[in-house]
Amino acid sequence: MAEADLVEDYHPVTAAQRRLPERLVLWDETLRDGEQTPGVRFSAEEKLQIAELLSEVGVSVINAGIPVVSPDEARAVRRVAEAGLRAKILAAARTVPRDVEAVIDSGVSHIAIFVAASRVHLRFKLKMTPDEVLAASIASVRRAKDAGLHVAFVTEDTVRAPFDFVERLYTAVQEAGADRLVVADTVGVMTPLTFRWYLEEFVRRVRPRELSVHCHNDFGMATANTLTAVELGVVAPHVCVNGLGERAGNASLEELVLALETLYGYRTGIRTERLYELSRLVEECSGIPLPPNKALVGYNAFSHEAGIHAHGILAHTLTYEPLQPESVGRRRAMILGKHSGRAAVLEKLKERGLEAPEDRLVDLLGRLKTAAESRPKDDVARFLAEYRARFEDPGVTDEEFWKLVDAAGIRAVRA
Ligand code: MN
């Protein structure tokens, strides 16, 4: 049976496929939301290196950062903007004039203008009325359009905001010239079905020229929700390499792309065979190690130990793998351990041109299990202790902080 026929068996998607967008504008947030991951900072050099690879891989839009944050950040954004990459370079701004000017000065072609939308954000964080948010948004969009930028308008916490306000705000900024509207599930409270309802309602009420989504992973559904959006025709999904981002992160670039490519046969325009290289680069620059069980790019994603699984894989890889590891630039690993069976062991013996009669094979399997089960676990404890110490407090230590306080001349107030 041909490979294509075997794959057909799990490709019955028809209805969803019909609404996939004609082209995908993959919008990467690794250098902005990804950098906002606790403890993560990218140097200008690292931002450029990551941006170059993102562009080579085929990402359409790269959010390089927020220039108003610091002179260093502004310089980093400028370097990415001037690197002559194929991807469009975007920078972000609040609905504050100096933020927008900083983006205009940074030399990028695209801007994302953001403001919060929900009642809790307006009342407690922005301390602005809906009318004030509306006025600031329109003014910022107009200014950016006058400067010749492609403008995306984003609200934080869109999905928890009153829909009437969302409709009024987005309709107004679109009339003011916004090219692309972004719906954000800032605290990751959507589910695929809820998000489908939300987006259909949004499209009906706002009629966006072009729609984009920004999904967070607080309940582990960022990729699923983003995929739902693309299934509904959303053109410009936000993603981060390795799912980096605030708190539990954003939708992961590699998961969204491979789901579309593999499950729907959709062409994203991404060179998927370079995604592992991209993932490793971001792992190194961010210092956030990939969980072993992370889809597609985690160490275990194409590893097999259990006897039944190894046997199946050796017979045909489609038995226990939905896609070939090479499609993301990886290789399959057969792990020998407690759960190994004869098929994996016989395969391993072939490496040295060895064969084993049944009784010797049974003896070897027994020895293998014993060896695996008796391996000491103190190295595991040591590794976890170091890992936990690092991630329980990845920022400046308390000791460092109080020294800085002292150096800044802050003294206790006398009672
Ligand atoms: Mn975010």
What kind and span of H or E run contains 88? strand 88-94
Least-confidence region, from 79-88, 173-182, 354-363: 354-363
pLDDT of residue 3: 66
- Could you tell me the distance, in angstroms and rounded to a whole number, from the CA of residue 214 to the centre of ligand 1? 7
Is residue 415's pLDDT more than 70? Answer: no
Instruction: Report the amino acid identity of residue 309.
Output: H
pLDDT of residue 2: 60
**Residue range 98-106: average pLDDT?**
98
pLDDT of residue 7: 62
CA gyration radius for the chain?
25
> Which residues make up the CATH 3.20.20.70 domain(s) of the chain?
10-286
- Could you tell me the distance, in angstroms and rounded to a whole number, from the CA of residue 396 to the centre of ligand 1? 23
Is residue 118's pLDDT more than 60? Answer: yes
**Residue range 176-204: average pLDDT?**
98
pLDDT of residue 199: 98
**What is the spatial distance between Cα 236 and Cα 211, in angstroms, rounded to a whole number?**
6
- Could you tell me the distance, in angstroms and rounded to a whole number, from the CA of residue 242 to the centre of ligand 1? 14
Instruction: Report the amino acid identity of residue 346.
Output: L
**Residue range 13-22: average pLDDT?**
73
- Could you tell me the distance, in angstroms and rounded to a whole number, from the CA of residue 314 to the centre of ligand 1? 42
- Could you tell me the distance, in angstroms and rounded to a whole number, from the CA of residue 92 to the centre of ligand 1? 12
Confidence band (pLDDT; 50, 70, 90) for 67? very high
Contact 76, 32 (CB under 8 A): no
Comparing 357 with 7, the larger pLDDT belongs to 357
pLDDT digits (tens, 9 = 90+) for 322-381: 899 999 999 998 889 999 998 889 999 999 999 999 999 999 999 999 999 998 889 999
Instruction: Report the amino acid identity of residue 137.
Output: S
| Cα 399 off chain centre by | 33
- Could you tell me the distance, in angstroms and rounded to a whole number, from the CA of residue 186 to the centre of ligand 1? 6
pLDDT of residue 393: 82
- Could you tell me the distance, in angstroms and rounded to a whole number, from the CA of residue 37 to the centre of ligand 1? 10
- Could you tell me the distance, in angstroms and rounded to a whole number, from the CA of residue 245 to the centre of ligand 1? 7
Contact 20, 231 (CB under 8 A): yes
pLDDT of residue 318: 85
**SS3 of 325, please?**
helix
- Could you tell me the distance, in angstroms and rounded to a whole number, from the CA of residue 33 to the centre of ligand 1? 5
- Could you tell me the distance, in angstroms and rounded to a whole number, from the CA of residue 185 to the centre of ligand 1? 8
Backbone angles phi, psi at 26, to 5 degrees: -75, 125
**What is the spatial distance between Cα 33 and Cα 240, in angstroms, rounded to a whole number?**
8
- CATH number given to 10-286: 3.20.20.70
pLDDT of residue 11: 59
Q: Which residues of 11-35 are buried (b: 16+ CB within 10 A; e: fewer)?
A: eeeeeeeeebbeebbbbbbbbbbbb
- Could you tell me the distance, in angstroms and rounded to a whole number, from the CA of residue 238 to the centre of ligand 1? 9
pLDDT of residue 311: 85
pLDDT of residue 252: 98
- Could you tell me the distance, in angstroms and rounded to a whole number, from the CA of residue 25 to the centre of ligand 1? 18
pTM of the model: 0.93
Percentage of the chain lying above the pLDDT 70 cut: 95
**Residue range 130-156: average pLDDT?**
97
- Could you tell me the distance, in angstroms and rounded to a whole number, from the CA of residue 334 to the centre of ligand 1? 37
Percentage of the chain lying above the pLDDT 90 cut: 81
- Could you tell me the distance, in angstroms and rounded to a whole number, from the CA of residue 36 to the centre of ligand 1? 9
- Could you tell me the distance, in angstroms and rounded to a whole number, from the CA of residue 290 to the centre of ligand 1? 20
**Residue range 295-315: average pLDDT?**
89
Is residue 394's pLDDT more than 50? Answer: yes
Contact 193, 225 (CB under 8 A): no
Confidence band (pLDDT; 50, 70, 90) for 320? confident
Phi-psi region of 172 (alpha: psi -120 to 50; beta: other; left: phi over 0): alpha
pLDDT of residue 313: 86
- Could you tell me the distance, in angstroms and rounded to a whole number, from the CA of residue 188 to the centre of ligand 1? 9
Degrees, nearest 5: CA angle 263-265-266: 110
Confidence band (pLDDT; 50, 70, 90) for 1? very low
**What is the spatial distance between Cα 255 and Cα 232, in angstroms, rounded to a whole number?**
18
**What is the spatial distance between Cα 80 and Cα 70, in angstroms, rounded to a whole number?**
16
Q: Which residues surround ligand 1, an ion (CB under 5 A)?
A: 33
- Could you tell me the distance, in angstroms and rounded to a whole number, from the CA of residue 96 to the centre of ligand 1? 19
